[in-house]
Structure 1
Amino acid sequence: MFRHSKKIILTLLTLFSVLVIAGCSQGSNNSESSPAATTEVPKKVNDIEGEWKLTDIRNSIQSIYSLFEMDEIQFGYFLTIFDDLDMRLKVNGDKVEVSYSTDLNNFSNNLYKGTNKKDSAEVFKTNLFKRTKELADKYKTNKATLDVTTGAFSFYAPGTINDTDKTMSFQEPLNFNMSFPMTLTETYDPITYKYELKDNLLLVSLDGTDSETQQPVHAELRFERVTGSENNTSATTTNETASLDGKWELINSGDAFLRGLSYRLHSQYERKLLLQVYWNTLKDLKPTITISGNKATYEGSVNLTDAYNSIYEYHKKNAKIKLEPKEEYIRTYYFNSMIKTHLSASKYSKIDIDEANYTVHTVIPDGIVDTSRKTITFDNPMAISDLVIFSNFSIAILDTTYNYTIDGDILTLTYERHETGQRFNIYYELKFKKVQN
């Protein structure tokens, strides 16, 4: 049994996960039909001409997931299901093509792990393949094919580029296995994405307002240039490696905090609303690590006033009963004794709570740096308030070890642990840049 939504996404994830349901296609094929079109020289597009390959896939796909209803367990299982996706983007003048081929057998198996397993894996796959083919057959401009006997699936989307506005337009949105369309409207509506070159990557992004939560949202796919060899996508750099000693500032805050919120926020508490609200509050924060010899100190601070105001205004607009005054509401349901209880459990952290301004400032001293093992261990895991905890713990109470590497002036901390009671791992990657004195 299926239910339509404005994004045409199947919300009954326990049955068929998050499959997109067919909608009305408003797109049209803009391809030229005259003979002259075959001899037209494509307009030259500076900088992005050529072939690109999707990279940083987990961060790319988690930004797509933030557009949909998905609980924390499903996110844990679904984060890695596109790890092997070979999506290509080709630019020729003012034309762009996005394509990929994949095996839906693996996709089905991984989706099945995130369901309540009401049906057998084989029944689940049969239904998934059937529905995917139905959705693919509705395309007017994009092309998607599925061999239901083998699971071989292919996707192709042609589009155009406006070099002046730095946009890519498609008659129908990009779509991941007909389950996760990169759109804020309908699955078959025309769409325009922004693009930019940054740090040798081509970023293709979607910005807008979620129709359900009325919150600003951002999704972003990252592509690296293909330069004749799969292992030669960028020029070799010889940046001098920075000293570990000194102050380091988090630079991938948007990715790191979206990952943390996606793992942590519980589905029973209007998860998508809170995910989007808190991410907009956290995405530009720059917590730091200061290292001196074999000691490290973590420091981070957040002001939650804007987040709480957004949550209150949303509930005020949508509530069927009159809400308490804002201050009372916030202190009752959000900035309450529960936060203090959770934070007080971090006995080795120095946490200052400014109740008047809804601010939490965290310092974790006496971290141990082991240069032989390339690890940094804190007595409590790094965290921002009780919203994001960079570990697999629900409360920041136990010692946590991060592996580190240094590339030039970038310090990368990674963490991977099995999620208690689940069959997936928690993955974090925190990138810090050396702060110049």
Structure 2
Amino acid sequence: MYQSITKKLTLWVAFLSLLLLAGCTGKQEETTVAQSEATTETAKQEVSLDGKWKIYNLRDSLESILIYTNPVDQFDGLLIMLIGAEKTTIASEITINGNTAEYHGAYDMNISFEAYYDTEFKNQNISKEEGLKRYQSYVELLFKKFPDAVGGLSEDKQTLDGTIKNGKVDTQAKTITFTAPIFFAGDIRATTSVLSDKPVTYSYSIENDILTLTLSGNDEIYNLPETIVLQFQKVQE
């Protein structure tokens, strides 16, 4: 009798211990999950707009620009420009400090020219030598016409390396404005106003460590609505 009661009590104690252990384990797991979620949320919130941002998903950004630059019957030209720009881009980055921003871009003139020649000069019986001279002059004049443009063609004219300074950041409106468009090559610029000297304003948003710039409007050539989307990733320093 006594042994039976003792055995039952022992089983109950063991059962209650298991329940207690399971409860503690569950609470520990819930706490761990909650801490992990809180850490992730904090990490999201701590990504500051200040700092350096490097181009992310280059092809997607280029496609959002180039899809509007050629009519349907020049689709082959668009692909040539897209592939050329991917190969030619050396740098594309934004540095933000408080209410100011700078864009730095650089690209290989020779690779860029190959794509430009095939789309612009090849069918005009213009030699590559003459086409290159025209392209270099065109790029240099285009870049220098903007008041906040610093840099330009290298001495050997092999590279364009330039910075657009004095960009304005409006954290209330969530916009970044440059006096010149963000560029990837001499003929690939993130703007709907190809021939305009007006400042270009991009709306921005941040998700995790990705800065997305968006520009919407009607292009000046075909008067069609377009939306350009550029993405930059935060550089951890």
Pairwise same-fold verdict (TM > 0.5): yes
1:331 partnered with 2:133: yes
Deviation at 1:353, TM superposition (A): 1.2
Name the CA distance, whole Å, in 1 between partners of 2:190 and 2:124.
37
SS in 1 for 2:193: coil
SS in 1 for 2:60: helix
Name the CA distance, whole Å, in 1 between partners of 2:202 and 2:218.
14
Alignment partner, residue 61 of structure 2: 256
Name the CA distance, whole Å, in 2 between partners of 1:314 and 1:402.
28
1:428 partnered with 2:231: no
Alignment partner, residue 44 of structure 2: 240
Q: Which runs of 5+ in 2 are unaligned?
A: 1-39
Q: Is the contact made by 2:175 and 2:201 (CA closer than 8 Å) also made in structure 1? A: yes
1:412 partnered with 2:212: yes
Q: What does 1:142-157 correspond to in 2, within 5 Å?
A: none
Deviation at 1:408, TM superposition (A): 1.1
Q: Evaluate the alpha carbon distance shift between residue 400 and residue 361 of structure 1 in structure 2; reply closer, same or farther with a 3 A threshold.
A: same
Name the CA distance, whole Å, in 2 between partners of 1:310 and 1:420.
23
Q: Give aligned-pair identity as a percent.
A: 27
1:293 partnered with 2:95: no
SS in 1 for 2:68: helix
Alignment partner, residue 148 of structure 2: 348
Alignment partner, residue 78 of structure 2: 275
Deviation at 1:310, TM superposition (A): 6.3
Question: How much is the aligned-residue C-alpha RMSD, in angstroms?
Answer: 3.3
1:359 partnered with 2:159: yes
Q: What does 1:10-29 correspond to in 2, within 5 Å?
A: none
Deviation at 1:385, TM superposition (A): 3.8
Identify which of structures 1 and 2 has the higher relative contact order when contacts are C-alpha pairs closer than 8 Å and 6+ apart.
2
Deviation at 1:287, TM superposition (A): 0.6
Note the alpha carbon deviations across 1:216-250, whole angstroms, 9 max, x for none: xxxxxxxxxxxxxxxxxxxxx74523111100011
Name the CA distance, whole Å, in 2 between partners of 1:319 and 1:243.
49
Alignment partner, residue 95 of structure 1: none
Q: What does 1:131-170 correspond to in 2, within 5 Å?
A: none
Note the alpha carbon deviations across 1:177-221, whole angstroms, 9 max, x for none: xxxxxxxxxxxxxxxxxxxxxxxxxxxxxxxxxxxxxxxxxxxxx
Q: TM-score, normalised by structure 1?
A: 0.39
Q: What does 1:371-410 correspond to in 2, within 5 Å?
A: 371-395=171-195, 397-410=197-210
Q: Which runs of 5+ in 1 are unaligned?
A: 1-236
Name the CA distance, whole Å, in 2 between partners of 1:314 and 1:401.
29
Name the CA distance, whole Å, in 1 between partners of 2:221 and 2:83.
30
Q: TM-score, normalised by structure 2?
A: 0.68
Alignment partner, residue 88 of structure 1: none
Q: Is the contact made by 2:175 and 2:203 (CA closer than 8 Å) also made in structure 1? A: yes
Q: Evaluate the alpha carbon distance shift between residue 271 and residue 409 of structure 1 in structure 2; reply closer, same or farther with a 3 A threshold.
A: same
